[in-house]
Structure 1
Amino acid sequence: MSARRSGGLVPEMNVTPLVDVVLVLLIIFMVVTPQLEAGAAVDLPAVVNPDKGEENSLTPTTVSLTAQGALFVDKKEVPRARFAEQLRAVHEKDPEARVVLKADRGVRYAEVRGVFKTLQDIGFPGISLQVIDLKKQE
């Protein structure tokens, strides 16, 4: 109970509801944040000095190549037979669209190069390979 002081009640602060709400929000953000990453989840290769990304307001199209060989265009799996067709449609819609290629580190270089060549043949003006910084990983 609260103590009386000069005839009135002294309010006590109860922080338990505030802590409960903050913890629930923290848990929600911890669950949602990994879902915000573009493309499929792949184990990216690490390099020592990655290039700084271009400061672009336009969101690039993300093409992901998983260790199992599955291709994704912006988190949506695409069969290999329809891969080039789907990317041509993206290129026709926006000829200046940028593409980020994310390939799992377990994928053979020849496969990554093949996907990169397909993107070049379609005519995308800028194709970036996504990697992680080796220095930050240690």
Structure 2
Amino acid sequence: MSARRSGGLTPEMNVTPLVDVVLVLLIIFMVVTPQLEAGAAVELPAVVNPDKGEDNSLTPTTVSLTAQGALFLDRKEVPREQLVERLKAIHEKDPESRVVLKADRAVRYAEVRGVFKTLQDIGFPGISLQVVDLKKN
């Protein structure tokens, strides 16, 4: 005896809803992933001829200053009081470490210069200001 039905319909799986869900998840991850890597939302100032980045195998420490005045140290918000302590600890651990300062274009120059001066006073050997390339039309 056979378990098959004679002349009956065999059910088929419809994979279209599964493909739709997978595509929606893919799009969501494509949109969210760059935001996770970016850290603080900072709109960088644009310059015409930015310097080419150095080929460093070491990852620099990133200090971000948002338009609202919040400070981030490697994608984690840090109060101003703790920023200096943490940066000094990083510098003591590796005196040759580099720092990249990302400041929103809406932040006043005096505030950016204050953070830059703090980094210099700690003794970091190389401090870079991150900008975007302004394309000529």
| Offset, 1:25 | 3.0
The residue type paired with residue 133 of structure 1 is D
TM-score, normalised on structure 2?
Answer: 0.79
Cα distance in 2 for residues equivalent to 1:65 and 1:23: 34
Map of 1:71 onto structure 2: 71
Q: For residues 95-136 of structure 1, give each alpha carbon's deviation from its aligned partner in whole angstroms, at most 9, with x where no partner exists.
A: 111100000111111110110010001010110000111107
Greater Cα shift, 58-67 or 18-27: 18-27
The residue type paired with residue 123 of structure 2 is G
Map of 2:40 onto structure 1: 40
Structure 2: 5+ residue stretches without partners: 1-14
Structure 1: 5+ residue stretches without partners: 1-14
Cα distance in 2 for residues equivalent to 1:124 and 1:60: 11
Q: For residues 73-98 of structure 1, give each alpha carbon's deviation from its aligned partner in whole angstroms, at most 9, with x where no partner exists.
A: 11111111222111001111111111
TM-score, normalised on structure 1?
Answer: 0.78
Percent of aligned pairs with the same amino acid: 77
RMSD: 2.2
SS at match of 1:54: coil
Equivalenced residues, count: 123
**Distance change in 2, residues 1:104/1:17 (3 Å):** same
